Amino acid sequence: MEPIEVGILGATGNVGQQFIHLLSNNPWFRITALAASERNVGKRYSEACAWRLSADMPAAVRDLIVQPCEPGLNCQIVFSALPAGPAQEIELRLASAGYGVFSNASAHRMDADVPLLIPELNGAHLGLLAHQRESRGWDAGFIVTNPNCSSMGLTVALKPLYDAFGLRRVIVTTMQAISGAGYPGVPSLDILDNVVPLIRGEEEKMATEPLKILGAFEPTSGTLVPASFAVSASCNRVAVRDGHMESVSLELERKTSVEDLIRAFAEFRNRPFSLGCPSAVEHATVYRAEADRPQPILDRGAGRGMAVTIGRLRPCEVLDYKMTVLSHNTIRGAAGCSVLNAELMVAEGLL
């Protein structure tokens, strides 16, 4: 198969750089267009971007000229790492001009006809695209989104438990990395020696996105019926570079044992891996039995950053059980998921 030509919107930002890193090693895609804000349009990418990943900037993108985020990009699909504000209009314009848009932004996540996709969990939601194209009058273009970086880790960890035992209530407290706020993000004087107990808009996303993701797609009506458990989230920014940690308490529909819950994580299988998608890992949920895991510096790279690590599963004195969840926010929680969304569409013959 010839690689599909792809563009990156917001290519100079934290998530944009992670896209470049992941896509430069991907056999199914080739980067042919990079786009960012007006202030960088016309510059060589190596001049426009303050590269912040430990892996070097790939040679193939250094001399690409940064373009405006508009139709005219030389590619079939775009990965969007734009802030929500500009993403709102830009993504619609590109989709209506025929581009497949895979977005990390929150702008269209909760639109009724837009899949909010975690490919290991809810690939069936791609069925929404037929309705999306029909109702919006788009021939080839579409928008597929992936969730907020904290919703991502939580929802992947909940999925095996939801399927096996059902969920009634979830209480989650996050400890979120600085890179989740983009660049330059949180000023150092606000975060060093400190914890900031507010990330605007985050708690609302965590209360709603998991319900859409774990909802059921009804092919006859082309609609989603959301899951109906309650999520209460408290979100905090902590002085960690990458990796969102979450303390989760949950109440189940059907009572079980700690051993059965751990077995559900171990037995969780995913379709993108069985289809041979290059970014998929065999175990999307990894349970660590050590008493003091997961930890960001030890576990954020699990499964090349695509696995969600769970630990400390134990009875909860208020709900049924509690556990600690960790995921890499710019890989699993952003660019890695978006690339896997596109791979799933290729593997399913939808691209």
Beta bridge partners of 30: 5
Taking the least distance from each CB to ligand NAP, the nearer of 13 and 141 is 13
Which residues have a Cβ under 8 Å from the Cβ of 128 and sit 6 or more positions away?
A: 113, 114, 115, 217, 222, 224
Q: Compute the least distance from the CB of residue 79 to ligand NAP, in Å.
A: 10
Residues from 236 through 265 that contact ligand NAP (CB under 6 A): none
Residue type at 335 in one-letter notation: A
Take residue 249 and report the two structure tokens written for it.
Answer: 């308490």
The answer to whether residues 217 and 127 touch, using CB atoms and an 8 Å cutoff, is: yes
Query: How far apart (Å, rounded) are the C-alpha atoms in residues 66 and 9?
Result: 10
Per CB under 6 A, the list member of 82, 250, 261, 264 interacting with ligand NAP is 82
Q: Which of these is catalytic: 21, 244, 283, 328?
A: 244
The answer to whether residues 35 and 9 touch, using CB atoms and an 8 Å cutoff, is: yes
Taking the least distance from each CB to ligand NAP, the nearer of 32 and 40 is 40
202: phi then psi, degrees, rounded to nearest 5: -70, -40
Instruction: Determine if 16 is a binding residue for ligand NAP (CB under 6 A).
Output: yes
Instruction: Determine if 170 is a binding residue for ligand NAP (CB under 6 A).
Output: no
Site pattern 56..75 for ligand NAP (x: CB under 6 A): -------------x------
DSSP output for 260-325 = HHHHHHHH---HHHHTT-TT--S-SEEEE-STT---HHHHTTGGGGTPEEEEEEEE-SSSSEEEEE
Site pattern 98..117 for ligand NAP (x: CB under 6 A): ------xx------------
Per CB under 6 A, the list member of 6, 7, 14, 243 interacting with ligand NAP is 14
Q: How many CB atoms lie within 10 A of CB 125?
A: 21
Instruction: Determine if 7 is a binding residue for ligand NAP (CB under 6 A).
Output: no
Beta-strand pair 142-145/100-103 = parallel
By Cβ distance, which residue is nearest to ligand NAP?
A: 13
Q: Compute the least distance from the CB of residue 123 to ligand NAP, in Å.
A: 20
Instruction: Determine if 182 is a binding residue for ligand NAP (CB under 6 A).
Output: yes
Task: Based on the residue annotation, tell me whether 149 is a catalytic residue of this protein.
Answer: yes
Task: Based on the residue annotation, tell me whether 328 is a catalytic residue of this protein.
Answer: no
Q: Which of these is catalytic: 149, 235, 277, 337?
A: 149
Per CB under 6 A, the list member of 284, 334, 339, 347 interacting with ligand NAP is 334
Which residues have a Cβ under 8 Å from the Cβ of 105 and sit 6 or more positions away?
A: 80, 81, 82, 83, 84, 87, 88, 91, 145
Taking the least distance from each CB to ligand NAP, the nearer of 105 and 248 is 105
Cis peptide, bond prior to residue 294, ω within 30 of zero: yes
The answer to whether residues 25 and 334 touch, using CB atoms and an 8 Å cutoff, is: no
Instruction: Determine if 13 is a binding residue for ligand NAP (CB under 6 A).
Output: yes
- Binding segment (CB under 6 A) for ligand NAP, from list 9-17, 94-102, 278-286, 316-324: 9-17
Site pattern 21..50 for ligand NAP (x: CB under 6 A): ---------------xx-xx----------
- Binding segment (CB under 6 A) for ligand NAP, from list 165-173, 179-187, 199-207, 258-266: 179-187
Which residues have a Cβ under 8 Å from the Cβ of 83 and sit 6 or more positions away?
A: 10, 105, 182
Per CB under 6 A, the list member of 84, 239, 275, 351 interacting with ligand NAP is 84
Residues from 131 through 150 that contact ligand NAP (CB under 6 A): 149
DSSP classification of residue 148:
-
Query: How far apart (Å, rounded) are the C-alpha atoms in residues 288 and 323?
Result: 11
Q: Rule CB under 6 A: which residues touch ligand NAP?
A: 10-16, 36-37, 39-40, 69, 81-84, 86, 104-105, 149, 179-180, 182-183, 329-330, 333-334
List residues with catalytic annotation: 149, 244
